[in-house]
Each structure stands twice: as C-alpha cells, then as structure tokens.
Amino acid sequence: MVLENLKSAPTAELIARLVALLDDDRPAMAAFVALAEALGGRGERAATAPLLRLAHRFAGFDRDAGAPEMRAALAALAQLNDPACASAVTDLATLDALSSESLALALACLATLRHRPAAPLARQHLTHEAPAVRAAACELAARLRLRASGPALEALLTDPAPGVAAAATLALGSLGLPAGRAPLETWLSTAAPVDLPRVVRALAPVADADTAVLLGRAAERADLDGRLAVVAALGDLGGRAAVTWLCRLARDRKPAVRGAVAEALEKCADTSAAPVLQELAADDDPTVADAAEQTLQALAEQATEW
C-alpha cells in the first residue's frame, strides 16, 4: 500500500484504506500506524469505528508485547473526542487487554471524554505499578470530579516518579482539595511557560487572597497563554489584590490580554477599577474597547441595584 500524500488525501479515502487493511489477511503492518496517526490528526468522528476495529484487533498482542498499532489507535481516538468510543475503550481497559503504555493512553482518552462509567478505573489505577498509568489515573480522577479519591491523590504527592507527583498535584487543585494548594503555589514559582497555564488553572479552585500576588508575579514571566490563564484565575478569585494585578495587566501589549482583563474585572465587581476600564474603553483595539464598555455598564447597573 502506498502511504505517500496522506496529508492531502480526503478523510474518506484514509478510512477506506484503513478498512481495507483491516479486512486483509496479510496487511502491511506499518500502514496501520501511519493511517491511524493521519486520521487522528483530522479530528473527524467518521474514523471512530475503524479505529476501534484496529484497537480490538491488536488487544491481545498489545497486552503481551506492546503493539504500536494499539497505541496509535488509542492516541487517534483521544484526538477525535467522540463519546461513541468511550464504552469500547473502557471495556479494553477493564478486560486486562492492554499493555501499561496503552492503558495509560486509554485512561487519557476516557479523561478527555469525561466518561463517568470509567470512574472505577481511575480509582483502581491510582496505585498501578507503572508511573504512566498512575499519572493518567490522576487526570481521569480530576476530570470525573472524584473528590473521594483525595486521600489516594495526596499519597501520590510524594511519588518517586515526578510525573505522577505533578499529575496528583494538578488533580488535587482541580478538584478544589486544599492539599493541592501548597505544592501548586511552589510549582507556580518555577513553572516553565509551557506548564504555567495548567498550573494556574489547577490552582484557581484552591486559591486564597495571598495567591493573587503569586499569580500576578507569575504573569510577569509568562507567555500569552500563561497571562490569559492568570487573568482568568484572578477574575475568578476576586478581591482587592486580584483587582490590583488585573489593573496592572490592563497595560499588557497584547489586545487579547487587555480584553480578558476587562472581562475579568466584571467578575470582580469592584468599582475601584473604573478608571482603568475607562482607559480600556478608549483602546485602539475595538474588541478590547467593547469588552471594557460592557464591564463599565455592568458595574454601573450593579451600583444602581445596591
């Protein structure tokens, strides 16, 4: 089978190629991985059924030796984000049909889908022997809002595998469990720009008034995504310290950040931000100006109601 030009081929053609391979008694094995990766990148749910066939075909092989075809199928299914695959992926993970690496991918897929029936898998695999599986179970527990798993997640804060400890930290914060705040605040001070947004998002549910200062300082060394995450967290946190940092971020060079600040200040409902909002209402970027005008109007209406 010729696999060139997969990027330019229509999705229907890629699916037809994969189905033909699955029906072939002696398929070109390398083609399975290439087609699964190409279909996952498309994000089109029409590929769900053949990708599930691929996963089931290699389930036994994967458990015994680890099959790249299984890993490619599960990774592609996670990218498709199709609820129709959730039950089948749960079955694969439940029936002991997967290698540790593939099991981690299956749990990650179920976390993306927020598949509630997978809750027992999250609880079960928080103590799995493979670090990748424990880390994936942490994410699944967080996505499914399994607050009762708090003690098990806390135990993983000292896991010898750094990736597991990080996943447990993020999960505790995302679940709003206080044990996550201290390690998240420590992480926030050293987080690389690529990690900063997820650290900030996890910290927001457990933040207190003092956290606003840490978030503001983190914004000073963050990239665009990080600054947007900080602005959103400060808006959710509210309070005088949060408003102070939002007003500083109102002078950010990126219009996306200035517009986000205007929206976040509406959540804070603090009239002391009015002068900054008036400056934003005169911003050269119309999106920023509109957001600031809406917030000023909302604050005025709230003041009238009070």
Overall average pLDDT of the 48-55 stretch? 96
Taking the CA of residue 260 as centre, how many other CA atoms within 13 Å lie in the half-sphere pointing to its CB? 23
How confident is residue 91, by pLDDT bands cut at 50, 70 and 90?
Answer: very high
Q: Summarize pLDDT for 209-243 with one digit per residue, the tens.
A: 889 999 999 999 999 999 999 999 999 999 999 99
Q: What's the pLDDT at 3?
A: 55
- Average pLDDT score over the chain: 94
How confident is residue 306, by pLDDT bands cut at 50, 70 and 90?
Answer: very low
Q: What's the pLDDT at 305?
A: 56
Share of the chain above pLDDT 90, in %: 87
How confident is residue 28, by pLDDT bands cut at 50, 70 and 90?
Answer: confident
Between 6 and 208, the higher pLDDT residue: 208
Q: How would you write the chain as a 3-class SS string? A: CCCCCCCCCCHHHHHHHHHHHHHCCCCCHHHHHHHHHHHHHHCCHHHHHHHHHHHHHCHHHHHHHCCHHHHHHHHHHHHHCCHHHHHHHHHHHHCCCCCHHHHHHHHHHHHHHCCHHHHHHHHHHCCCCCHHHHHHHHHHHHHCCCHHHHHHHHHHHHCCCHHHHHHHHHHHHHCCCHHHHHHHHHHHCCCCCCCHHHHHHHHHHHCCCCHHHHHHHHHCCCCHHHHHHHHHHHHHHCCHHHHHHHHHHCCCCCHHHHHHHHHHHHHHCCHHHHHHHHHHHCCCCHHHHHHHHHHHHHHHHHHHHC
Between 2 and 291, the higher pLDDT residue: 291
pLDDT at 130 over 70: yes
pLDDT at 64 over 90: no
Q: What's the pLDDT at 26?
A: 86
Q: What's the pLDDT at 1?
A: 43
Question: Residue 161 has which token pair?
Answer: 């595998």
Distance of CA 76 to the CA centre of its chain: 16
Q: What's the pLDDT at 25?
A: 86
User: pTM of the prediction?
Assistant: 0.88
Q: What's the pLDDT at 66?
A: 86
Q: Do residues 38 and 6 touch, judged by C-beta distance below 8 A? A: yes
Overall average pLDDT of the 25-47 stretch? 91
C-alpha pair distances (Å), 9 with each of 47, 81, 138: 14, 22, 38
Overall average pLDDT of the 92-96 stretch? 91
Overall average pLDDT of the 13-25 stretch? 93
How confident is residue 95, by pLDDT bands cut at 50, 70 and 90?
Answer: confident
